[in-house]
Amino acid sequence: MSHTSLPAEVILNWPAGDMHGRKVMQSQKRLGDLKGIFADETARSSAEPATVVYQVQWWQPAEPGQEGGLFWGVTTIHPGTVGGEFYMTHGHFHANRTRAEYYATAQGEGLLMLMDDSRMTWTEKMSPGSLHFIDGRHAHRVINTGKAPLIFWACWPSDAGYDYGSIAKEGFGARVFNRDGSIEIRS
Ligand code: F6R
Ligand code: ZN
């Protein structure tokens, strides 16, 4: 019996946070896209709108919403602040609250902010090698508190979905600022 080995569909560059493959998708979030995310909206709207805050690459080997599949992605958050508040992701709940996720840090320093339905908010430290299990009930956002890009890998179910609405409306229960070189979490 003959046997053929197929090439892998996606090749990762772990430390660089890069994925290569025909079906790999990507998106970038610029300061101009992040209206209402930072506390100081005046500072955000007067900053250069083309500045990239974070970018995501991901692979969906199943249809979104299909049960049983897994998605894989990587996010790079650049270093920087808006009105003293560190660059961060939008953050979201999963539309399906029974769907968990893993984040694993490749490079950089930051905080994973988690929030439950009652708006109780807490953080976990992210540093190279740190692995974070995100319960499906918890909203999640990542904040780059360092001076270099923060790169983390993620794996989540194909039917997790996204609920950005409640975060867009009310945010998380805390924000993270650079105060004279030290990290300040304000609730
Ligand atoms: C997927 C997931 C990540 C984020 C990415 C960008 O469930 O949590 O892939 O989507 O880190 O963050 P958001 O989507 O909050 O802008
Ligand atoms: Zn998620």
Alpha-carbon distance values, 90 to 22, 38, 98, 163 (Å): 27, 9, 21, 11
Q: What is the pLDDT of residues 21-63, one digit of tens each?
A: 999 999 999 999 999 999 999 999 999 999 999 999 999 999 9
By percentage, how much of the chain surpasses pLDDT 70?
99
Q: Which atom of ligand 1 is nearest to the CA of 134?
A: 8
Q: Read out DSSP for 111-127?
A: EEEEE-TT--EEEEEE-
Residue nearest to atom 11 of ligand 1 (CA): 75
What pLDDT does residue 170 have?
93
Closest ligand 1 atom number to CA of residue 71: 1
What confidence tens digit (pLDDT) does each residue in 71-98 have?
999 999 999 999 999 999 999 999 999 9
> Could you tell me if the CB of 89 is within 6 A of ligand 1?
yes
pTM higher than 0.75: yes
Dump pLDDT digits (tens) for 123-152: 999 999 999 999 999 999 999 999 999 999
- Domains of the chain: residue spans and CATH: 13-186 (2.60.120.10)
pLDDT grade, residue 3 (50/70/90)? confident
Atom from ligand 1 closest to the CA of residue 141: 15
CA dihedral 61, 63, 64, 68 (to 10 degrees): -70
pLDDT at residue number 57: 98
Q: List the residue whose alpha carbon is closest to atom 6 of ligand 1.
A: 89
